[in-house]
């Protein structure tokens, strides 16, 4: 297989390829015809890149070597370093003026080279763990960036090689949960591998939450005051300190796997929907459990009426009343498919639920009857998540079909579709930052911010 290819940006045009047969292929054209192979590498060739002028090209391989060739004749000019790295070299990037070359390697370092003398200018040590291996690099204008195996993006500082200017600590596994801090200043995202990242909703700066977390998939996350609570498939609820940005060590064990949770601030009460029961926690201790005959998917609490909505895989939305610390069944609402998510509106007057049968249903809380006679069914596949805007006038829904739909509560016949919101990736979470800003997360590990205009 070919690992890398590049196109010469000037005449005469050339294409070079780097392959796992340890060779570099050179093609001349157009039309491009095979010209020669270069066999200087002894292991897989991982990257080939022409300089911005096309005067030279560089190749990097798993043998730790980096070679520079003439851009026109493809003759070997020389080797950079001897070898350049002690581990495989994954990427090379040219400075825009073509005078310097950046290399990144599995030896957990990046290096900056002078092209003319092929000597080392500076070395960027990136850490000591396997996750600190450097798998890609980019020279974009003034910015020098590298990507760690962990998925972190490092902005390198030429003047201080030991400390990056900033590190973007995003996710490299699908994001499964999303929530906002109470003051809406911080976005929390959690992924399939148990990593939780906080993002400043204004500037986008971010950091990874420290401490001992779940270490595996997080099924739900909610913020309450100074703490954020996560539900993991390790059958526990854990607590993150907002100020300290780390897990506090509070670990509430459950009888079965939690699927969803919501928090009632008064009384510090958490209601957890699990696979076999509904558990009520108060002051981080279990105070009651109610066995259920279905698997729950999501939980939402109405802070005014103390009603608790629980989505079930039995195609029903189950409504309970929280009586002290006990849950008392109140009413069941039929859906045409398993209920995947539910949310009460911020003004506590409405409840929205979505299901695997592509439908989004809006209920009025008074009688738990549909709030309008329009069918909100424009998704093409299972709807995964729903979210109310702070003014309770807009509902966003995200689906397996990669689209986000904005529904207008006051004019239910209207809706806005965001197609391919996360291309080729289902939407896994939605939350409104304000009445015009929506945040979405996807299976593609991305967190996106959308500007929504209320056209209704």
What's 42's domain CATH number? Answer: 2.130.10.10
Is pLDDT at 266 greater than 90 in this prediction? no
Q: How many CB atoms lie within 10 A of CB 364?
A: 14
DSSP structure class, residue 376 = B
Please indicate, yes or no, whether residues 154 and 242 belong to a single structural domain of this protein: no
| Claim to verify: residue 77 and residue 190 sit in the same structural domain | no
DSSP state of 451: E
Residue 160 lies in a domain: yes
Contact 404, 432 (CB under 8 A): no
CB 228 within 8 A of CB 263: no
Note the pLDDT tens digit of each residue in 216-247.
999 999 999 999 999 999 999 999 999 999 99
Judged on CB neighbours under 10 Å (0-12, 13-18, 19+), 377 is middle
Tell me which residue range forms the domain holding 112.
2-168
Task: Clarify whether residues 220 and 151 are in a common domain.
Answer: no
Number of domains forming the structure of the chain:
2
- Beta partners for 280? 271, 288
Neighbours of 207 (CB within 10 A): 14
Residues 348 and 428 in one domain: yes
Quick check: 89 and 62 in contact, CB under 8 A? Answer: yes
Whether residues 108 and 48 share a domain: the answer is: yes
> What does the pLDDT average to over 127-139?
94
pLDDT at residue 303 above 80?
yes
Give pLDDT, residue 155.
95
Task: Verify that 18 and 132 share a domain, yes or no.
Answer: yes
- Helix H, strand E, coil C: the string for 125-139 is ECCCCHHHCEEEEEE
Residue 456 domain-assigned (yes or no): no
Shared domain for 163 and 179, answered yes or no, is: no
Residue 14: C-alpha distances to residues 5, 75, 95, 175 (Å):
11, 13, 20, 41
Pair (96, 216) in one structural domain: no
Three-state secondary structure readout of 70-124: ECCCCCEEEEECCCCCCCCEEEEEECCCCCEEEEEECCCEEEEEECCCCEEEEEE
Predicted local confidence at residue 454, as pLDDT: 67
The verdict on 50 and 92 lying in the same domain is: yes
Q: Is residue 237 located within the same domain as residue 119? A: no
Same domain, 201 and 299: yes
DSSP state letters, 282-310 = ETTEEEEEEE-SS-EEEEEE-TTT-EEEE
Q: Residues 32, 34, 39, 45: what is their CA dihedral angle, to the nearest 10 degrees?
A: 40
Q: How confident is the model at residue 455 (pLDDT cuts 50, 70, 90)?
A: low
- Contact between 136 and 155 under an 8 Å Cβ cutoff? The reply is no
Among 138, 168, 198, the domain-final residue is: 168
**366 and 219 share one domain:** yes
Boundary of a domain, candidates 113, 136, 168: 168
Residue 204: pLDDT band with limits 50, 70, 90: confident
Angstrom distance (rounded) from CA 155 to CA 161: 10
> Are 159 and 142 contacting, i.e. CB atoms less than 8 angstroms apart?
no
Domain end, chosen from 147, 168, 189, is at: 168
**Residue pLDDT, tens place only, 15-72:** 999 999 999 999 998 899 999 999 999 999 999 999 999 999 999 999 999 999 999 9
What mean pLDDT value characterizes the chain? Answer: 94
The pLDDT of residue 37 is 94
Distance, in Å, from the CA atom of 236 to the CA atom of 343, rounded to the nearest integer, reads 22
Give the N- to C-terminal CA distance of the chain in Å, as an integer. 53
pTM for this prediction:
0.86
pLDDT tens digit sequence for 108-124: 999 999 999 999 999 99
Q: Exposure of 311 by Cβ count < 10 A (0-12 exposed, 13-18 middle, 19+ buried)?
A: buried
Residue whose token pair is 């000019």: 77
Residue 247 DSSP SS3: strand
- Interatomic CA distance for residues 256 and 318, integer angstroms: 19
- Angstrom distance (rounded) from CA 88 to CA 242: 39
In this prediction, residue 453 has a pLDDT band, given cuts at 50, 70 and 90, of confident
Provide the token pair at 121.
């200018």
């Amino acid at each position: 297989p070919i690992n890398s290819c590049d196109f010469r940006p000037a005449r005469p045009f050339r294409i070079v390829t780097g392959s796992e047969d340890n060779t570099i292929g050179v093609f001349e054209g157009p039309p491009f015809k095979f010209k020669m192979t270069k066999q200087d590498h002894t292991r897989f060739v991982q990257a080939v890149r022409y300089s911005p002028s096309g005067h030279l090209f560089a190749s990097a391989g798993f043998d730790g070597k980096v070679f520079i060739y003439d851009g026109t004749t493809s003759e070997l000019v020389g080797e950079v370093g001897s070898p350049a790295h002690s581990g495989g070299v994954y990427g090379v990037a040219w400075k825009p003026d073509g005078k310097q070359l950046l290399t990144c390697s599995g030896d957990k370092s990046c290096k900056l080279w002078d092209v003319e003398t092929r000597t080392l200018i500076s070395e960027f040590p990136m850490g000591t763990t396997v996750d600190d291996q450097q798998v890609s690099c980019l020279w974009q204008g003034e910015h020098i960036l590298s990507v760690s195996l962990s998925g972190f993006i490092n902005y390198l500082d030429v003047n201080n090689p030991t400390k990056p200017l900033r590190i973007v600590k995003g996710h490299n596994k699908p994001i499964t949960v999303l929530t906002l801090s109470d003051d809406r200043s911080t976005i929390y995202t959690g992924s399939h591998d148990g990593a939780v990242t906080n993002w400043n909703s204004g500037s986008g700066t971010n950091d990874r939450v420290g401490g001992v977390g779940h270490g595996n998939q997080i099924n739900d996350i909610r913020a309450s005051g100074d703490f954020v609570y996560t539900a993991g498939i390790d059958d526990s609820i854990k607590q993150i300190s907002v100020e300290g940005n780390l897990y506090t060590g509070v670990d509430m064990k459950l009888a079965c796997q939690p699927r969803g949770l919501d928090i009632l601030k008064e009384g510090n009460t958490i209601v957890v929907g699990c696979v076999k029961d509904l558990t009520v926690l108060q002051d981080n201790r279990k105070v009651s459990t109610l066995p259920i005959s279905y698997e729950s998917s999501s939980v939402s609490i109405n802070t005014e009426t103390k009603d608790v909505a629980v989505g079930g895989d039995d195609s029903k939305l189950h409504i309970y009343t929280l009586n002290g610390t006990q849950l008392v069944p109140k009413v069941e609402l039929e859906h045409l498919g398993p209920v995947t998510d539910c949310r009460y509106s911020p003004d506590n007057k409405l409840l929205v639920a979505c299901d695997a049968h592509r439908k989004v249903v809006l209920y009025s809380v008074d009688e738990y009857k549909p709030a309008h006679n329009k069918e909100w069914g424009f998704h093409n596949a299972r709807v995964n998540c729903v979210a109310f805007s702070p003014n309770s006038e807009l509902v966003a829904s995200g689906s397996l079909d990669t689209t986000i739909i904005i529904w207008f509560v006051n004019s239910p016949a209207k809706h806005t579709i965001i197609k391919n919101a996360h291309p080729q990736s289902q939407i896994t979470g939605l939350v409104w930052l304000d009445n015009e800003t929506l945040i979405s997360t996807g299976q593609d590990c991305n967190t996106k911010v959308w500007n929504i205009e209320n056209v209704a």
